[in-house]
Amino acid sequence: MLEENVIWLDSPDQKKFTSFRFYTELLDELSDYYRSGFYNGGPPVIALDRSLKIDPVVLPLLMALGAFLKEFHKQRVTLELDNDLHSNGIIRFLEQSDFLHIAGDNENPTWPIGKRLFNFNRSAIGHFSTKGEIRSDHRLHVYSKVDAGLRHINLIENLEKRRDALIEHYLYKTGNDFEGLISEIPTSSTIRNELVQTMAELITNGIFHSDSDVYVMMFNNRYKTTCSIADIGKGLHESLKTKPPTPYYTYGVLTAELVEKVTLSMPKNVQQSAFAIFETFYYSMLKDRQGLFDLMLNVVLGCQGYFRLHFESVQVIVSSRMLGQLNVLAEIRNDIYSLQGRQKAFKEPFGDYDRAMLDYALVAKTAMVNLARDIFQKYSEDVQFSAIRLFRVKLRGVHIEAEFPKND
């Protein structure tokens, strides 16, 4: 709810503040604010209503928004906390999940050091009721390129090696940071391992590609484990543009095809963001190392989970509902990866390899276009349960949620 320059976050009728509400309501109100007469060059105030029930996976998004607004306005956004000493559960949650420590200017090393993204009244924190324990594991984490632990890794010149070193570092780190939550998931140790690896790779992607801080929250409830990762980096276009062209891939080749094949009408910038997601998957699918595409397949096919990727104003939700098409893609990916393995191991001539890759790239392109067309087709039939969501307002950076249902 926007009132003058204050955006109220609340939960009327106990309606949880989810990432969907974040992308629709909050971002919309924010854009309304900038168009309203109350905008005088300063950032809006974000006020938390006492009724607010927040979905923990929104915390990284709020953090990313705070970081973005601070960068834009060169000043911090004010967060208004209303503590009536009685119904202050939301403030208690934000404090105990380390959100307020990271968002503010905390310098006490007992908690994460503050990133100074929000202004808030510190005296409003406290006098919490002790009713109902909040899990100490449910904490927001922030990872940054300037962390002391990365000092040596940042010096590695070879990009592939630096990436491997980053993944390795975050394997240990996520193992430590999320051990309690992950060990509780009633599944095999292989899947748990996969989860740690997934987190490590997602954080690495954020740090490696976007050069921004990465905010991570992992949350367990009775039905699922969700991890949410947000950055405000340069985004998919910019990182794809820097890739050197190969005989079988040049930047924009899939987008060009999608522009032709997808008939759904949407604003140009929305279309660009949407196609960039598929372009990224396609690029990653042709690559000679495992990356985002394999990760997505692993979450959906390996762990029966959901993979939601939000970029600018589009969110794509990959789930087992697209099993048929994903299996086709997985098979092509396997063939490509084996071919690349054989080329490296047996030193097959590059000409043959390029020709074979070119064939695979065409097959992969068709399969990817089919997936995209299907998703857009279903969107025009049924917006609410569609695998793609188009939002009015865009938020910079890449935001990923991976959700693992508990099948017990």
Partner 1 sequence: MVISKIEHNGFLYFDVHAEQSYTGSFLADTGDANNNICEGIYGSELTAETLRNITDEVALYKGKTIILDFSKIKDVQSNLFNTLIEIKEHSELLVLTEVSAHIVKKCNLGIFDQNKPGEGGNFESFVLSRNIQYITLKDTNELFYEHFSTLLVDCTITNEGEDAFRHNSPVYVPKFIDIKGMMTNDSNFYLYILYRLALSIKEKFAEDGSGAQPILFCQNLNGAYNAAILSRFLNYDLLSMDHIGPVNKVYSSIGNKIKEEARYIVISDVVCLGTEIKICQNIINYSGGRYIGNASIVKIETLKKEHQDNDSVSVFKITKENNPIEFKIVTALA
Site for partner 1 in 88-117 (CB under 8 A): 109
Smallest gap, in angstroms, from Cβ of residue 308 to partner 1?
A: 21
Q: In Å, how far are 84, 267, 296 from 164, measured between CA atoms?
A: 49, 38, 19
Compute the distance between CA of residue 279 and CA of residue 256 in angstroms, rounded to an integer: 10
Smallest gap, in angstroms, from Cβ of residue 295 to partner 1?
A: 9
Q: Confirm or reject binding of residue 171 to partner 1 (CB under 8 A).
A: yes
Q: How many CA within 13 A on the CB side of residue 138?
A: 18
Residues 11, 18, 78, 197: which binds partner 1 (CB under 8 A)? 197
Segment holding 389, helix H or strand E = strand 388-405
DSSP label of 146: T
Q: Which residue number, 116 or 234, has a Cβ lying nearer to partner 1?
A: 116
Q: Confirm or reject binding of residue 380 to partner 1 (CB under 8 A).
A: no
CB 366 within 8 A of CB 328: no
Strands 118-119 and 388-405: what pairing?
Answer: unpaired
Q: Which residue number, 131 or 151, has a Cβ lying nearer to partner 1?
A: 151
Residues 76, 139, 141, 173: which binds partner 1 (CB under 8 A)? 173
Q: Which residue has the tokens 């974040």?
A: 22
Site for partner 1 in 335-354 (CB under 8 A): 337-338, 340-342, 344-346
CB 189 within 8 A of CB 179: no
Q: Quote the tokens at residue 268.
A: 């140009």
Q: Which residue number, 193 or 327, has a Cβ lying nearer to partner 1?
A: 193
- Work out the end-to-end distance of the chain between its first and last CA atoms, rounded to an integer number of angstroms: 39
Q: Which residue number, 138 or 173, has a Cβ lying nearer to partner 1?
A: 173
Identify which of 209, 207, 196, 198 has the alpha carbon closest to the alpha carbon of residue 166: 207
Q: Confirm or reject binding of residue 169 to partner 1 (CB under 8 A).
A: yes
Q: Which residue number, 196 or 372, has a Cβ lying nearer to partner 1?
A: 196
Backbone torsions φ then ψ of 229, nearest 5 degrees: -135, 125
Q: Confirm or reject binding of residue 207 to partner 1 (CB under 8 A).
A: no
Q: Which residue number, 130 or 346, has a Cβ lying nearer to partner 1?
A: 346
* Contact window for partner 1 (CB under 8 A) among 187-195, 229-237, 239-247, 324-332: 187-195
Q: Which residue has the tokens 């992607």?
A: 205
Segment holding 227, helix H or strand E = strand 224-231
Q: Confirm or reject binding of residue 147 to partner 1 (CB under 8 A).
A: yes
CB 287 within 8 A of CB 313: no
Q: Confirm or reject binding of residue 290 to partner 1 (CB under 8 A).
A: yes
Q: Confirm or reject binding of residue 159 to partner 1 (CB under 8 A).
A: no
Contacting positions for partner 1 (CB under 8 A): 109, 147-153, 160-161, 164-165, 167-169, 171-173, 175-176, 189-190, 193, 197, 201, 289-290, 294, 337-338, 340-342, 344-346
